[in-house]
Amino acid sequence: MEPSSRTDSLFLPIQGSTHAPDVDSLYYFIHYISVFFFVLIMAMMVYFVVVYRRRPGGPKIRQISHNTPLEVTWSVIPLILVAVIFLWGFRGFMDMHIAPRNAMEVHVTGKKWLWAFEHTSGRKESAELHVPVNTPVRLIMSSDDVIHSFFVPNFRIKQDVVPGRYTTLWFQATQLGEHHVFCTEYCGKDHSVMAAKVVVMTPEEFKTWSDKDPDEGMPLAELGAKMYQKNACVSCHSIDGSAVIGPTFKGLFGRSEQLTGGGTVVVDEQYLRESILEPQAKIVQGYQPVMPTYKGTLTERQLNGVIEYIKTIK
């Protein structure tokens, strides 16, 4: 990944989106007009001060009240320049606010103090937004609390993010790598660290990323705890020792259970696996055979996670 703080020019960060060259050319147009007239006016002032200074025996200058051609010139030229700047800026403003119809959409939520993203696929991420390069991406943004502002300097886009309504932005990234996101509306104590990054990938990399298990890298027991909540195991199996609809998970691993119809079983990985995938195989005495199978619901890794999680509940 390329560092996004790299600069290509003296003044501005890298041009990372299709908006950037448009914004920069208008910026430079205004900048160089200002430089040109600043130098012109300063030079003429100095020239007149020197040439027409008062000196003994010098020419007597007559008072000039007005000069119509000169006044028209210095009114019409700025008028034309300002009109050009307005029309150019207005066109750019419209381009930046109307996303292409085929744009990929991402929901953005600002909250004290992080940026959360949800892709239409349901994939969620926070503090990082992964997008494919050369693809229009439309951000549908809202805030959970106060006003924030979403700013990606490399993309030259910035927009307030307001509670209770949506604001939108769109961009088409042209540079692979990571691009900083800042919050640019003062929003409280950690405003200054309310940052994120846009990670721009090739379409192939993005596809791989999209297909990847979002829980990859999460410790198994932690993944199991998540599955315990997400799959509502919690509604039948307590972790505090109380019996609900099924046996509690507390101290379950290694325990010896009496089975309905006689016999005992020592709770080990093999038994837990069987109980999750084929819940009716062995019923613990005193409970009804009501548990549904989780075959196909849990992946192999999630299954391992649940087993590791149960081991931790002592």
Beta bridge partners of residue 116, listed in sequence order? 109, 126
Task: Name which position in 107, 119, 158, 191 contacts ligand CUA (CB under 6 A).
Answer: 191
Query: Two tokens at 175?
Result: 């540079």
Rule CB under 6 A: which of 141-180 touch ligand CUA? Answer: 148
CB contact burial 143-175 (16+ within 10 A = b; e otherwise): beebebbbbbbbbbbebebbeeeebebbbbbbb
Residue type at 91?
R
Neighbours of 35 (CB within 10 A): 10
Considering the rule CB under 6 A, would residue 181 count as an interface residue with ligand CUA?
no
Smallest distance, ligand CUA to C-beta of residue 30, A? 28
Site string for ligand CUA, 55-94 (x = CB under 6 A): ----------------------------------------
Q: Which of helix, strand or coil describes residue 180?
A: strand
Considering the rule CB under 6 A, would residue 194 count as an interface residue with ligand CUA?
yes
Q: Are 131 and 199 in contact (CB under 8 A)?
A: yes
Closest CA to 222 of 297, 298, 302, 295: 302
d(CA 215, CA 221): 12
Task: Name which position in 106, 157, 183, 303 contacts ligand CUA (CB under 6 A).
Answer: 183
Smallest distance, ligand CUA to C-beta of residue 160, A? 10
Contacts for 157 with CB less than 8 Å, ≥ 6 apart = 17, 19, 96, 150, 151, 169, 171
> Considering only 91-99, 185-193, 245-253, 303-311, which stretch makes contact with ligand CUA by CB under 6 A?
185-193
> Considering only 6-14, 122-130, 182-190, 200-208, which stretch makes contact with ligand CUA by CB under 6 A?
182-190
Smallest distance, ligand CUA to C-beta of residue 106, A? 18
Residue 191 or 282 having the CB closest to ligand CUA = 191
Count of residues that bind ligand CUA according to CB under 6 A: 9
Residue 178 or 185 having the CB closest to ligand CUA = 185
Considering the rule CB under 6 A, would residue 185 count as an interface residue with ligand CUA?
yes
Q: Which residues bind ligand CUA (CB under 6 A)?
A: 110, 113, 148, 183, 185-187, 191, 194
